[in-house]
Amino acid sequence: MPSTAPRLIRSARLLDAAEARIASEFTAPPPPQNALTTEALLALAHEYLPAAMIVTHTTPLRAADVAALPDCVKMVATVSVGLDHLDLAALHARGITVSNTPDVLTDCNADLSMMLILAASRRAAEYFTLVKTGWTRPLGLSDMLGQRVTGKRLGIVGMGRIGQAVARRARGFDMDILYHNRSRLPPELEAGATYYATLEDMLPHCDILTLHAPAQSSGAPLMDARTLALLPRGAVLVNAARGKLVDEAALIDALRSGHLAGAGLDVYQHEPDPNPTLVGLPNVFTTPHTGSATVETRTAMCMLALDNVAAFAAGQTMPSPVKA
């Protein structure tokens, strides 16, 4: 590698293709065997004195952590779209450039959302449990009936890249697309979807509701007892965006009462230790925050993080900077 190769550390081992690139294009210590704690990452930064750090959501950098970074650190590249684990204000106040990895995970997140929609509507968790624990008699005509997805009204909260990708997939099931967004999309992106300026106006019309919005700045859940009650009885809720968007106590009540027929969840208020009552409900289909968990997407995310580091080191425009 050239003597001017950018000097970096990472909080976790990246995928093989990205590790091979690090070995050939960057100056870096061996990858950690296990994801580093924030404390271990800070210690490594002081030992190795890198110009850039690559982190994931498992290694948060809060204000006190940012203050403890050595002055040599000029950039933090996170292998994620979400930034909840970073104190952006503290990083930018120290003049540290930040990048993330948007766009490359849009399709896989949309694919997972459709899986959650189908699984929650068709009672996949209950079917799986029945077969695995002992399916001993044929099901009658009225036993364990799910809900058809084809032709249903799908409400999308947050019509950004992922929301639009979900809408494209849902049209393959002849679903009517409704959406609520901070602003209305132009007609070519709306593609016939029905826009609602307020969430409250849209919810009564949704057979299935899928969330693709960032967490609210206030920290309050978007879907609480009041907003869940606005959904039609028998509706299905899907959340593959942020756990903070849903009041889980209210969701449990809605699922137990039958107001909601089911839920498909990839994210939770508390990770990696979600509410056992919630995930134990038979009408909840769960995945462990794996929206981007494919070889193709995770590799692309790692490579984009390295693209950002390389561009920053060369004084070039980064592909995906996070603005102050």
Domain housing 83: 8-104+295-313
Candidate list 13, 92, 153, 289, residue with the active-site label: 289
* Model pLDDT, residue 4: 79
124 and 42 both lie in a single domain: no
Candidate list 10, 242, 248, 298, residue with the active-site label: 242
Is residue 317's pLDDT more than 80? yes
State the Cα–Cα distance between residues 297 and 248, nearest whole angstrom.
29
Tens digit of pLDDT for each residue in 264-310?
A: 999 999 999 999 999 999 999 999 999 999 999 999 999 999 999 99
* CA distance to 45, 94, 229, per residue, from 66 (Å): 11, 8, 42
Residue 248 banded pLDDT, cuts 50, 70, 90:
very high
Is 242 marked active-site?
Answer: yes
Percent of the chain residues past pLDDT 90, beyond the cut = 96
Residue 2 lies in a domain: no
Residue 174 lies in a domain: yes
111 and 167 both lie in a single domain: yes
Tens digit of pLDDT for each residue in 183-197?
A: 999 999 999 999 999
Is residue 3's pLDDT more than 60? no
Is 271 marked active-site?
Answer: yes
Residue 324 lies in a domain: no
Candidate list 39, 47, 271, 296, residue with the active-site label: 271
Q: Which residues, in sequence order, are CB contacts of 128 under 8 Å at separation 6+?
A: none
185 and 214 both lie in a single domain: yes
83 and 129 both lie in a single domain: no
Average pLDDT over residues 126-133: 97
98 and 174 both lie in a single domain: no
Terminal CA-to-CA distance of the chain, rounded, Å?
33
245 and 208 both lie in a single domain: yes
* Model pLDDT, residue 68: 98
Which pTM was predicted? 0.91
H or E element, residue 293 = none
H or E element, residue 298 = helix 295-313
Average pLDDT over residues 251-270: 98
Is 10 marked active-site?
Answer: no
* Model pLDDT, residue 217: 79
Residue 323 lies in a domain: no
Here the CATH number for the domain that contains residue 44 is: 3.40.50.720
Residue 1 lies in a domain: no
Tally of domains within the chain = 2
3-state secondary structure of 291: coil
